Amino acid sequence: MTARLRPERILPALAWPRHWADGGLRGDLLAGLTVALVMIPQALAYAKLAGLPPQVGLYAALLPAVVAALFGSCGQLSTGPVALTGLLVGASLLPLAGGDPERLIGLALLLALLSGLIQLALGVLRLGWLLNLLSMPVLMGFVNAAALIICLTQIPALFGIALAQDEHLVMGVVHMLTDNRDLHAASVAFGLGTLGALLTMKRLAPRLPGVPIVVAASTAASALLGFEAGGGDVIGHIPQSLPALSLPPLRPELAMTLLPAAFVVAMVSFMEAASSAKLISGRTRQPWDQDQELIGQGLGKVAAAFTSGMPVSASFSRSALNYASEARTGLSSVVTAAIVLIVLLYLTPLLWHLPKPVLAAVILQAVSGLIDLKVLRRAWRANRDDGISAILTFIATLAFAPNIQNGIFTGLILTLALMVYRSMQPRVVQLGLHPDGTYRDLHRFGLTHPDPRVVIVRFDSPLTFVTAASFEDGLLRAARAQPDVRTVLVSAAGINEIDATGLYTLAGLIERFHAQGQSIAFCGLKKQVIDAMERDGLWPRIADIAAYRTEQQALRALLHKPPAATPT
């Protein structure tokens, strides 16, 4: 049976038992417990970030996490609510909900369904490569801006202040900070105290589960000190029940409205998952399948849509914790979901007194690690176009907030435009003989033409409708480079492809050169280019001066015989 037809190809979880030898099962069980301790407070916090009730975050950590683990290709990925997806959900849906909590939940379910179907379709059709159109500089520009926006949105909650709705999120936060309203002292104490404790534990005791320890201590302190009675904002009641089966509002007009946001959620959330999978697979030396992971993540989102959840993704921090805890397979995610289920059914009363400023501190501590402005500088140093894309995406995301999906669309369009612009200006250089025996850029190295009768031109690009004009200009310049030029020799090793426009342009140049007593010769042509010339009927006309393999071979032949006549 071929690899494509194996049951493990359809359901990767069938391969889990092979990894449980030599303590692998024990590692999965312990990793699942460890990740669950972090998942529970994060699920509550990221549901709050999306503007949804806290139990929605716990629901999204149940069946969606299990489904993604069963069908995904990387066993260490931990799927559930994440900060970036939570921000995208809130930014996309809060303006449409109009303050109606039930409508907001329905929109979240529909967004989960649409984004999941997009990922599922890309995975089934093996089209995961399309996500590579989102370049890393654009993604990092967006992630940095989004992380900064998340931090800004949590500052009011950290101080116990309600952030007023504003058309421009950043300006709304600025107005809040400059307003002379009174802060809630207890909220400030809990928020800053929790943030300080989390940062201290991360620095001094990084191996300890700092988030659950600090959250548990803060909840106990809130109950003992009467934080809620003093006007503090707490989580309150969380239903002790399984998530109800849900049906997203399947209305065409709503689906069309949410489709751009769903595309962004699908793209950004999978890039986060792919980053984790690439890092982990590089360390474990276990392969991962991009398209299979799209199927797993897509099915996880679809499961969330029908179990009262929210759009989910693989968390970079929880996946890293899963790997560090020696998880081998997706069983660790099943264990995590089981522990979340136990908490949801029996222990939610213990979460009543959890202060919301504490959740804001959890979000700030988790998201602050995403801010890395050095990557923008590195992108600028590596390539100015990449630097421009990264910086403009960063600025656009901040400018469009809370509609941050417009920021990544701006970066995507800019990246594609710059890619087309670069491809329209390929490198066309004339070559001379270098002292090391190779033919290199004549002008850069101060070389001379190998002979008054021949000019060598190297074309470093496919010869297509995008580059045909540049190819024509380069050959015409070469034909005028010396007074006695009889042949322009094209060093064609860089031409990987030729299309109909390239063939038409080349045929026209051959006729033009022949009419003025010159010819075009080739060396280093690749098989796929020769095949295209044969299908077009051009090859028989030029074969005798186009089959040379190297510049030296071509020069020896061309300088000892007159150019071949080219019939019209």
Q: How far is CA 178 from CA 156, 175, 194, 426, in A?
A: 12, 5, 24, 52
Question: Which pLDDT belongs to residue 314?
Answer: 93
CA distance 502 to 218: 69
Q: Which two tokens stand for residue 409?
A: 């669309």
Q: For residue 376, give every residue at least 6 positions away whose Cβ sits within 8 Å of its Cβ, in sequence order, or none.
A: 137, 140, 141, 144, 387, 390, 391, 394
CA atoms within 13 A on the CB side of 271: 21
CA atoms within 13 A on the CB side of 93: 29
pLDDT tens, residue by residue, 504-555: 999 999 999 999 999 999 999 999 999 999 999 999 989 999 999 999 999 9
Decide: 303 and 62 in contact? Cβ < 8 Å.
Answer: no
CA distance 271 to 293: 11
The length of the chain is 568
Decide: 77 and 114 in contact? Cβ < 8 Å.
Answer: no
pLDDT tens, residue by residue, 457-468: 999 999 999 999
CA distance 266 to 359: 26
Question: Which pLDDT belongs to residue 178?
Answer: 63
pLDDT tens, residue by residue, 281-298: 888 877 788 999 999 999
Q: b vs e for 44-82, b when ≥16 Cβ sit within 10 Å of the residue's Cβ?
A: bbbbbbbbbbbbbbbbbbbbbbbbbbbbbbbbbbbbbbb
Q: Which two tokens stand for residue 277?
A: 């999978």
Question: Which pLDDT belongs to residue 565?
Answer: 43
Please report which residue ranges of 429-536 form alpha helices under DSSP H: 468-479, 500-515, 527-536
Spatial CA neighbour of 150 closest among 315, 301, 371, 354: 371
CA distance 51 to 91: 9
CA distance 397 to 407: 4
Domains of the chain: 28-373 (no CATH), 427-558 (3.30.750.24)
Query: Within the chain, which residues score under 50 in pLDDT?
Result: 1-3, 563-568
Q: What is the Rg, in whole angstroms, of the alpha carbon atoms belonging to the chain?
A: 30
